[in-house]
Chain A
Amino acid sequence: MTATALSVRNIRKSFGEDEVLKGISFDAHSGDVISIIGSSGSGKSTLLRCINFLERADSGEVAVAGEIIKTHKAKDGQLSPSDKHQLKQMRARLGMVFQNFNLWAHRTVLENIIEGPVQVLKHPKKKAVADAEILMDKVGISQKRNHYPSQLSGGQQQRVAIARALAMQPTVMLFDEPTSALDPELVNEVVQVIRQLATEKRTMIMVTHEMALAREISTHLIFLHNGRIEEQGPPQLIMENPKSDRLRQFIGKF
């Protein structure tokens, strides 16, 4: 039995009257690749953003490597982190890759990658650069190290964003639809990087529309519908034998 890298308990979240997450729980063990699928509006991205508190859930609990993120109920009814210092540490251990890359526009590729290690982890710059070089090689972006994000294609930007997240040596990687903002011909270069990370047994949670990728690399698939986990299990099993009509319909679209 491997250690629990990420544990999500009973996350609830409403936007006004609209309850988008109705109590979600799951665990990711070390080396797990969990893909979260579901139609748009099913709350997939919100769930991911609740995990690192970019979005505040209304209730629930998140633990990284066994350590629970301390929270309290704020006046507005939302779950508020109690210990800012702990939250920052936890966030540093959750590498986030955004749909729209969100590379810092005023920094070069290299500067984007070393920003976190230097500023948050307080690594010496030399070490951060040396580490970044390995990562840039890994995602195949070394030649562009001194380019600014605006000078790169979407696929290149997303690869840099992955390297930036990896540079924090996170316990868990969170991918928020990493390929859906890309032109079709650029999807593959990013998919390849993600596939490689999966073979290295990195713990990853990925919200995605790429059914083929989800099926290929996931150890576990979660189908979200109307704010609930409708079905989950090993990808082959549940994709070939969907129990619910909704999942059948959803898969049928692809």
Chain B
Amino acid sequence: MMDFFNNVFSWLPELLAATPLTLILTLVAGIFGLVFGTLLALARLSNILILSVPANMFMFVMRGTPLLVQLYLIYYGLGQILPGTWVRHSVLWPYLRDGFTYAVIALSMNQAAYNGEVLRGALRSIPKGQIEASMAMGMTNLQILQRVRLPLAFRDCLPVLTSDIIILLKSTALVSTITVLELMGTARMIQRESLQIYEPLIACGLVYFAVVMVLTNIMRPVESRLTRFRKGNA
């Protein structure tokens, strides 16, 4: 039993060294996901069919299929197609041979679809009066979007967006399957090399648990600050 725990703890330094990559993946995909998600939500709510229909379909497909399938499709699929195109000779090529790039693409797209759905709901539930008040002041549509609709929508769905970040963090573990050595990938590598089945996984679990707890507790005050205008949330 002591041996077991000693083994578990012995893997912690190596796993902690891989944690920044997990956090970077979360951060990058989180930011891309939020930006694209906002655009998707707006596209879906627009009256222009050529925007709303593809946005709708994209969101449905991304939310309706496993992230793991999307990862494989992008990683292996683009790996099959790209070498035959101009990309092969461009400056981007070195990056595109790295699993990290595909991981970011897939995670961002997936996150964008989920964020988009949440934001769409929030944008739609903004009381008409808020927008009418802005129009009455002579604000342009863009101004209303920037100054009223988006800020209200973001604050409205902030709790969901933050919990989606936690889900994203957990999802990054899947990119270990396309050779990215983040936390999970490192744990599985250790597993193969040390021939220990449980210890690396348990150690990995400890690190994830700590990261999730820290992240949750960081986001809570941010959340309550941004929603302080709500009743009972002061």
Asked whether any CB of A lies within 8 Å of a CB of B in the complex, the reply is no
Binding site for B on A (CB under 8 A): none
